[in-house]
A and B are shown apart, each in its own frame.
Chain A
Amino acid sequence: MKGILKTFESVVAILTVITAFLILFGAGEKIPDVETVTWKSRGFDALKSLDDESELASWTLANDTSSMKTELASLLPLGINYDVVVCTQTCPSFSISSEKIATVNYFVAGNVTDINPREVVLYLWRGT
């Protein structure tokens, strides 16, 4: 009899804790994803920094995304995967398989020898 009561009390305790957890942290209270917005901000600052050093425009016009990626490595947060594409009238297709993706868009007017606007798109994601 004592054993049954003990079991009953422990079951009541577990159920109470689960109910409290669901009420406090249930689906209705989804914590907003601030991380990807922070990635975007860091990514934008990284591209701006490259632009301020006057390198981004020439790499963009030459579609030299490898140089961009090399320089971005030291400017972006560690542990984040990233890739860059340069858009003309359209953007090259790009596919990533991840639940957390952020994209950063940056316009470049061109340079002294070639005034030709382009958009640089930086993809940031976690996972493979």
Chain B
Amino acid sequence: MKGQFFLISGLIVIIVLLLIKSSLNLAEIIENKRSLEVSLERKEFSNIRDELMNTIELSYNRNETKNVENYIVYVRQRLKFRAVDLDGIAIESSFTSVTSGSDTGLNVTVMNFLGETISSLNVTFSYDGSSQTSSNVVDNTTVKKDFTFSTVSDVNYTLTVNYATSTESKQYSIQIPVEIGKSKFIGFFDLRAKSLRAETKDEFSKVVETA
């Protein structure tokens, strides 16, 4: 009887182990971990995006375009060490104080950080429908385009940017809000962060008034 007691005890232990095992839902734990990791990557992406916006705000009248480029180059380089690719395109437009009825220059800078060469780039300004093109814009470089406009009242123009690479072609329509007496910087960004776990993308713009 006493020997059988060991066998019965063993059976009870196995039942307890089975109960523990069934309460430990491994798939649920893995899913929970994955969702935590994805949520963290989204937070990290938001940090990159927020600090890019912050760069523009902090740059008030102090070379916004250069500061944005420095930020993007730095972040890309740091992320490379963590096997994260930050790719995208930055389209930065600016104009100085608009005087009613006088010619004002619109300076447009396109920074390619798509991770590949832009084979053809076309920038069209809705004011007069004029367009300028570039070809073979290599990764991590910028091209500058200058336009002119003249208005007697506040108006919203559109800057249309088309590009083609060996893997994609895309078009963006960017609003250029012109107000008499004001200078502005308009940044448009298409950011894509790709890691081994997830891919996060966002297109956003930031308009700031400059002095």
Contacts and interface: CB of A to CB of B under 8 A. Distances in A.
B58 A107 contact: no
A34 B6 contact: no
Contact of A20 (B6, B17, B24, B26): B17
Contacts of A112: 58
A9 B47 contact: no
Interface residues of B, number: 43
The binding surface of chain B is classed by DSSP as helix
Contact of A32 (B30, B48, B55, B75): B30
Contacts of A33: 33
Interface stretch (A10-18, A66-74, A77-85): A10-18
Given A17-B13, A115-B59, A109 B44 contact: no
A89 interface: yes
Query: A5, A7, A24 — which one has the most chain B CB atoms within 10 A of its CB?
Result: A24
Interface residues of A, number: 40
Interface of B: 2-4, 6-7, 9-11, 13-14, 17-18, 20-21, 24, 26, 29-30, 32-33, 36-37, 39-40, 43-44, 47-48, 51-52, 54-55, 58-59, 62, 67, 70-71, 74-75, 77-78, 82
